[in-house]
A and B are shown apart, each in its own frame.
Chain A
Amino acid sequence: MFQLGGSMKQRFCDGISRRQSLKIGASGFLGGLSLPGLLHMQATASTGQEPKAKSCIFLFLQGGPSTIDMWDLKPDAPSEIRGPYKPINTNVKGIMVGEHCHRSAKVADKYAILRSHSHNDNGHTTGFHYVLTGYKANFADGANSKVPVNELFPSLGSIVSRELGTRGNIPPYINMPHPLTAGGPGFYGAEHAPFVIESDPVQPDFELKDLLPDEKVGRLRYSRRQKALRELEKNNNMTGRAGTMATYYEKARDLVSSPIARKAFDLGSEPAKMREAYGYSSLGQCALLSRRLVEAGCRFIGVDHGSWDTHFSCFPSLEKDLIPHADQAFSTLVTDLQDRGLLDSTLVVMMGEMGRTPRINKQAGRDHWSATQSVLFAGGGIKPGQVIGATDGKGMAPTTEPVGVADILRTIFYLMGIDSDKTYYTPLGRPVPIVSGGKLIKDLI
């Protein structure tokens, strides 16, 4: 896991070139065996086994899901809080969810609901940044840029990409159907940026950017081109970056030519029944494609699912679109993964950047409420069929110890066998541990 010695240069606030900063762990800093090194050894020693989660599917409900209407209902609260939905029983005794989550209710033994997630950033962009990087944003909320907002700190997926690398012929970190706003690589650099499928698999004209050669070229010409390129490059050994580029070309070629990779992206080959089971929604088809990518070896898939920012008359859209889509996509994904024997090795997380105000506002909507949100976890070695934590009778605050962003990230990394205390240095030499602070969600693992 660690690069000891190697090509390190200075390690402080002053002397690190970008490339080196990317390679240096905390290891060299202390000399010999480092703190993270020890912690890592301790972590493995205490579990005594390899991490189970080889991949993670991260369903990001951006805008802030109304989990008070989904996973943590307040039937005894006044009507302006409890809303119109009723809790229903699930297949696990004692666990109840909202009536529009009836599909998930039938498979509640396959996932865990964390009800005590809480943090104090009530903005969207800043919240994206916080949840996806574990670090507070240093900009004001509202910046809506086409470039990733996490300019310095790497996102979850970029960290996974860096720590675990590829598994098969497929990029380790993929975003769909567009980039996660804070899903960038930060100071890790372009190498760990997400491979973005900027096309929605639910659309009939869904296509994969750059993955398949231009149709106009045709297979025959394409293979001739590849052959000519290989012949030209045969006698053209280059070292350094050009050499690295050559290996990426190999990988890219693998991706394009490998039947496994190609098949992974060919959503059309999925039986209609299966596509239907996931639901013909953006989230549903993204979840299905995610499963295919996991099968092909992708490490981290970030699905960006929008429109959860329901300030105005929220209930119609919640019950007609948002909740049913999420309910169907999540429950089918978890079931499907289990049917294929992949649930143990695949961690599924569904959350947004915040929850929503328990009190329904004057426009019949709910506003931002980062103090409470329920988060769903399935697979990857978690303990399913349970509820972790609780909120008060009005859903205003956790009544158990709040679980923060750093706790969630630390737990995800733990499940994937990534050492959260490993530290990298920014180009200006500032040490940035993978997760700063936080502790494992003990009940989950």
Chain B
Amino acid sequence: MLAPMQASAANPDIWQVLPKAIILDGPEATRQITVRQKSSDGLMMDWTHQAKYLVQNPGIARIDETGMVQPVAEGKTMVVVSFRDRRFEIPLEVRGFLNPTPVSFEHQIMPLLTKAGCNSGGCHGKAEGQNGFKLSVFGFDPMADYIALVSESRGRRVMPEAPEKSLLVTKATGQVPHGGGRKLQEGTIPYKALVRWIAEGAQFGTTGFETMDHLEMIPAEQVLGLEGNLQLQAIAVDAKGNRRCVTAEAEFESNMSTIAGVDRKGWVQASSIPGEAAVLARYLGHVTVCRITIPRKGTSFQRPKEFNLIDRHVFDKLQKLGIPPSELASDSMFLRRVYLDMIGTLPTAAEAKNFLQDTSSTKRSALVDALLKRPEYSDYWAMQWADLLRIDRDVLNVQGSVAMTRWLKKQFQENRPYDAFVRDVLTAHGSVGAESPAGFYKVVTKPDVMARSISQLFLGVRIECAECHHHPSDRWGQEDYYGLAGFFTGVGKKAGSSGEAIIFTSGGDAKQPAGGKVIPTHALGAQHARIGDQEDRRKHLADWMTSPSNPWFSRAIVNRVWAHYFGHGIVDPIDDLRVTNPASNEPLLADLSKFFIESKYDLQALTRLILNSRTYQMSGSNPENRSDSQNFSHSQSRAMPAEVLLDAICQVTGVAEKFNGWPEGARAIQMWDNRMPSYFLKIFGRPVRTSVCECERSNEPSIAQALHLMNSAEISSKIHSRKGTARKLAMTNLSPEAIIDELYLGLLSRFPSADERTIMMDLFKAEGQQRQGAIEDVMWTLLNTKEFVFIR
């Protein structure tokens, strides 16, 4: 139907003017037109805002400068779109204007309230409402909202006899004082819909509306130039396949506004930073995304040699974006990084020297293999999982905390297959004081909290929102939430001879708290689980979860391990896998996940694959890739976790930390006691273990941290200690130069540069300086460099 008027017929491969025909059904129907052109270099130009629009018969419809059409009266006409020397005609029909279908509260008014933000958590959607008017947050409960509007407040909110005087209208338009300000303009389509709905008697009414099946975005993905634009179209498709433009009614948001932002009309604005963004559209509980890719202009690079499958996917992506990867990291950078990342421990000066002098071409992979066997490997990973599984001394007491930490350590020591490990956690029972993960069910006590913790931790699916309302950017609702909780209803506690024990009983389907509706137990997106009376209900969940066909299980852990080694996930936040939060490199995540399943859930094999990739072994950013934060073009500096930093300081100063009640030399990464008082651990962000979220560990720098490293009596006395490294070095007959080397190796795992050596030698040469004093000064200085505090 697209009708080019010029002789030089517009090539449909180059010009895309959508839609080809418009039917506006009802007085409040609208249609977004988009005008796009493919340029010779393959990029897409969006001219929607530059094009000129004209409705041939303005008595039938109206169009604004952004290409949004709205009806004026019943009839047929033509929209003429012109851009430069091009002209396109789109036939248009307005129907249902004279005898419109009554406005439906559920289908039309709810989305309108949502888009205006009325039911957001900060306004009337919050638990106590706002100024006596409460809506369900994000509109998850249309009936309750309907009653709130129509029946409460003595009917003043909607008055069919004087629709425009209704409180709902006068407040929303700011005619009477409204804390939220003016949310609706008089005369606009939403305003008209609201007034008509009230005038028709404010019906809940659903007649004339098919159930919505899904939401579609046009386009679903798009490559844009730097600072390019794109007009999105959101289309609601009902069960019969009818399509309706809801661009005006849907909400839009970008997951990465620094790369591409979006306004409330679906107009995307790319920034000057190359990268990717996912723009989400939400309408009536359905969500979808458009993936935007913004390549860097005119950059080509030589693909470095690939070490393994990871590099192929990463370089593919970087090539697509035009972001060149960084150089391979030096041996010392790799050494320090891999020690701190894998075993949470700094290499000693001797270890550093040995590695740097090793001439073997396979020394990096040999080091990875060797570190996997170190006891610190299992200490460190047990500590991280103790955070996630919330080992809390205040709840489990000493015996329980020690036992569960020991169990964790054993899993990593033995390289227990991950599926078996998770099955043990899921189905844990028996004494809380025994070596097992049973303590988890003492820390987390309610079936629904167990369910959502397990879901977030092992599937990367956050269903917490669905406890109260439909997940705003995923498909989960309350039925899914309580359906999952049904697997945990049999978990109980019993006092035993050797302390408390976790037991399982027959349990049953969980009930929705409001209304008490029984929800059939089912896993996410799965069928109703048939569970026998005598069974541990959790076993059924474990079977489903650890099946190779589970869509999340393997991806979630692969992404978690990846994020540990790179500082951020392929999907980020790492425990939030959903369509609307897509992977920055889907082929990479898919392939890693496949590898992991094929390896029979072997965490060490996965670790080897990641660490032996060139991608992991890259150096820091260069001017071409500095702004990239999603595509692993370079290594990003990361703060050492609190415990790792404390251990590193103890190691380099040669003075162990004294933990109350712990044997001399105990290390912070071995600590099972999350409540151990420690100013150091507190200010450097040790988590308290109140959630299964990795995000609980804070790695934000603060003034208190800087002050503590510079001035604290604790660290100063370690540097100065009679038993410490500085003293020992002072007692040797090593030359100052050799001592400086030794300290550089011990603290930074490298030799100093010539300039650095000069600066450090000045500390030795200073007037009145003692030998030990100079050594302490060098040590203090290196310990306070960013290079020491960060993993690079």
Contact = CB atoms under 8 A, between A and B. Distances in A.
Given A38-B181, A236-B785, A12 B117 contact: no
B711 A14 contact: no
Contacts of A30: 116-117, 120, 122-123
Given A233-B785, A248-B705, A241 B637 contact: yes
Given A211-B711, A238-B790, A13 B700 contact: no
B280 to A, nearest CB: 8
A241 B638 contact: yes
Nearest to A166: B703
A122 to B, nearest CB: 22
Given A214-B713, A232-B781, A14 B255 contact: no
Interface string A186-214: 00011101010010000000000111111
Interface in A230-276: 231-233, 235-236, 238-242, 244-246, 248-249, 251-253, 255-256
B683 A15 contact: no
B713 A190 contact: no
B100 interface: no
A129 to B, nearest CB: 14
A26 B711 contact: no
Contacts of A32: 264
A232 B759 contact: yes
B618 to A, nearest CB: 15
Nearest to A149: B688
Given A191-B700, A252-B707, A13 B785 contact: no
A445 interface: no
A147 interface: yes
A195 to B, nearest CB: 5
Nearest to A151: B690
Contact of A229 (B123, B180, B690, B781): B781
Interface in B407-460: none
Interface string B165-185: 000000000000001110000
B702 A193 contact: yes
A248 B117 contact: no
A39 interface: yes
Contact of B693 (A146, A249, A428, A437): A428
B117 A35 contact: yes
Contact of A431 (B121, B777, B778, B784): B121
Contacts of A191: 698, 700-702
B636 A240 contact: yes
Interface in A11-36: 11-19, 22, 26, 28-36
A386 interface: no
A191 to B, nearest CB: 5
Interface size class of A (residues with CB under 8 A): 35 or more
Q: Which of A11, A14, A229, A423 has the most CB of B within 10 A?
A: A14
Interface in B684-715: 684-685, 688, 690-691, 693, 695-696, 698-708, 710-713
A13 B472 CA distance: 8
B276 interface: no
Contact of A171 (B256, B682, B703): B703
Contacts of B515: none
A217 B573 CA distance: 44
Contacts of A245: 639, 701, 705-706, 786, 789-790
A367 interface: no
B696 A423 contact: no
A210 B710 contact: yes
Interface stretch (B148-156, B195-203, B574-582): B574-582
Q: Which of A16, A195, A217, A421 has the most CB of B within 10 A?
A: A217
A9 B122 contact: no
Interface stretch (A220-228, A329-337, A347-355): A220-228
Q: Which of A33, A145, A228 has the most CB of B within 10 A?
A: A228
A301 B542 CA distance: 51
A25 to B, nearest CB: 9
Interface stretch (B33-41, B554-562, B760-768): B760-768
B508 interface: no
Contacts of B781: 225, 228-229, 232
Given A238-B637, A431-B122, A213 B181 contact: no
Contacts of A239: 621, 626, 637
A436 to B, nearest CB: 7
Interface string B465-476: 100000111100
A49 interface: no
A216 interface: yes
Contact of A244 (B120, B701, B720): B701
A430 interface: yes
B82 interface: no
A190 B711 contact: no
Contacts of A249: 706, 710, 784, 786
Given A9-B256, A252-B703, A256-B707, A429 B465 contact: yes
Contacts of A29: 117, 120-122
A224 B766 contact: yes
A327 B7 CA distance: 93
A47 interface: no
Interface string A304-330: 000000000000000000000000000
Contacts of A6: 257-258
A440 interface: no
B331 interface: no
A240 B116 CA distance: 36
Contact of A189 (B465, B698, B703, B712): B698
Contacts of B784: 225, 229, 249
B385 interface: no
B724 to A, nearest CB: 13
A277 interface: no
Given A16-B573, A236-B785, A5 B257 contact: yes
Contact of A195 (B117, B636, B637, B703): B703
B600 interface: no
Given A17-B573, A35-B181, A147-B675, A10 B690 contact: no
B675 to A, nearest CB: 7
27 contacts: A12-B473, A14-B472, A14-B576, A29-B121, A30-B120, A30-B123, A31-B264, A39-B179, A146-B675, A146-B677, A190-B685, A191-B700, A193-B702, A209-B713, A210-B707, A221-B777, A224-B763, A228-B762, A232-B782, A238-B786, A241-B637, A245-B639, A245-B701, A245-B790, A248-B705, A249-B784, A436-B126
Interface of B: 116-117, 120-123, 126, 128, 179-181, 251, 253, 255-258, 261, 263-264, 280, 394, 462, 464-465, 471-474, 572-573, 576, 578, 580-581, 621, 626, 636-639, 675, 677, 679, 682-685, 688, 690-691, 693, 695-696, 698-708, 710-713, 716-717, 720, 755-756, 759-760, 762-763, 766, 768-769, 773, 777-778, 780-782, 784-787, 789-790, 792
Given A13-B462, A216-B716, A248-B702, 19 more contacts: A8-B257, A14-B474, A15-B581, A19-B700, A151-B690, A190-B704, A210-B707, A212-B711, A224-B777, A232-B785, A239-B626, A241-B701, A244-B701, A245-B706, A248-B706, A251-B706, A256-B707, A421-B122, A428-B462
- Minimum-distance CB pairs A-B, first 9: A13-B465, A30-B117, A252-B706, A431-B121, A214-B716, A38-B181, A245-B701, A210-B707, A427-B695
